[in-house]
A = this chain, B = another copy of it.
């Protein structure tokens, strides 16, 4: 009798540690070779599953799979693609059953954020609705840290560390330059709907005067006069001012400041970039020389400065997903459960996919300081453990060595193609 196979896929924006989860899945499945046959990976997330574009991970060496643990981005490709409901999009689910069935796939592991856990939940319904016995486990991942139930999301800790390290360094730079040159430095970070990543910048400010001096959160509409006065106070007091701004900051009317925007030389609206708008405002109203940086993908791809805690947790949820599947569980997602803060301890728990899907967790109000420009002690207590430890990748010739898998395709067995709507 052929053994039952597993399918693993990555979804949504990738992170510095999503491949560590892939490593956890594949290594754990290999340890349970008596129970699980091959681990296939869907190329580009659920799209690869629908189009029968599968990768045979058994063709990869143990060393290459181990190297996933220190390799950023999505080793099998990711996608942004939502499955409609089973009622409205039954053909897609029937197609999945065809693909699963053709390749003896009984375990499906979907690694992603809120939208992706929605997909995972829908796939888990196949068993009941279409009668094909698939076990579906979601694996959490998102730099946005907005998944419910889990204490934190794998991927976030490394972005948090990157932002903390970067604003500490750039803040020291602007402090050096302030007398005759740049007085204000602005770092724009991700987080369209929640200020978790911006808040992480606050970890760098350990004592009076440390950078960042101001954090602008999506949770707090920008009060222009108050903000400018705060900038001026910083310069009067410290001779410079370092600011972390979330891409999701809104004006008093509730519109994204990044969208109020810039127009290029051709008159076209220029999307992206709240930092230059803030910088211009400061230059215009206060006259200070500024510099600004937009970290963009650098922050979520920065495996070179990944958090050891994050890497371990990302691996652990991958491993747990396989163990849960083998224990006969279904339609759940392994989560991080915090034990103590001092010393930090955590274990793996589980949450039902049905309740995880499409829920976004905001920053608690009491994590933002009363003036709206910093983080509270409670926030620091929460964030600090997540950036602990440096999980450096190996280097060769001065650059990190990241693995590129062979990603050999599995021969297609279905006679028909499938059109992604």
Q: Is the interface of A mostly helix, strand, loop or mixed?
A: mixed
* A203 contacts the other chain (CB 8 A): yes
Give complex CA distance A390, B292 in Å.
27
* A294 contacts the other chain (CB 8 A): yes
* A351 contacts the other chain (CB 8 A): no
**What B residues does A273 contact at CB under 8 A?**
273, 276
Binary interface encoding of chain A residues 10-26 relative to chain B, with 1 for a CB under 8 A from any of its CBs, else 0: 10011010000000000
* Selected contact of A180 from candidates B80, B173, B265, CB within 8 Å: B80
Is the pair B304, A169 in contact by a Cβ cutoff of 8 Å? Answer: yes
* A291 contacts the other chain (CB 8 A): yes
Is the pair B168, A297 in contact by a Cβ cutoff of 8 Å? Answer: no
Is the pair B79, A161 in contact by a Cβ cutoff of 8 Å? Answer: no
Copies of this chain, complex-wide, total: 2
* A363 contacts the other chain (CB 8 A): no
Known A166-B298, A262-B264: A179·B47 in contact at CB below 8 Å: yes
Q: How far is the CB of A264 from chain B (nearest CB, A)?
A: 5
Give complex CA distance A298, B179 in Å.
20
Interface-forming stretch among A30-38, A212-220, A329-337, A392-400?
A392-400
Is the pair A203, B272 in contact by a Cβ cutoff of 8 Å? Answer: no
Is the pair B165, A400 in contact by a Cβ cutoff of 8 Å? Answer: yes
Give complex CA distance A270, B77 in Å.
36
* Selected contact of A268 from candidates B16, B268, B280, CB within 8 Å: B280
Q: How far is the CB of A169 from chain B (nearest CB, A)?
A: 4
**What B residues does A284 contact at CB under 8 A?**
266, 268
> What size tier do the contact residues of chain A reach?
35 or more
* A375 contacts the other chain (CB 8 A): no
* Selected contact of A291 from candidates B176, B297, B389, CB within 8 Å: B297
**What B residues does A268 contact at CB under 8 A?**
280, 284
* A250 contacts the other chain (CB 8 A): no
Give complex CA distance A304, B170 in Å.
11
Most B CB atoms within 10 A — which of A10, A175, A284, A389?
A: A175
Is the pair B298, A169 in contact by a Cβ cutoff of 8 Å? Answer: yes
Is the pair A14, B402 in contact by a Cβ cutoff of 8 Å? Answer: no
Is the pair A169, B72 in contact by a Cβ cutoff of 8 Å? Answer: yes
Q: Quick one: which of A297-321 are within 8 Å of B by CB? A: 297-298, 300-305, 307
- A169-B304, A292-B296 provided; 9 other pairs, C-beta below 8 A? A13-B177, A77-B179, A161-B399, A169-B301, A170-B298, A173-B300, A185-B297, A261-B265, A293-B297
Complex A-B: 24 CB contacts under 8 Å: A44-B180, A47-B179, A47-B180, A72-B172, A73-B169, A74-B177, A80-B177, A161-B398, A164-B399, A165-B304, A166-B301, A166-B302, A187-B298, A261-B264, A263-B265, A266-B280, A268-B280, A273-B276, A292-B294, A293-B293, A294-B294, A304-B305, A387-B398, A387-B399
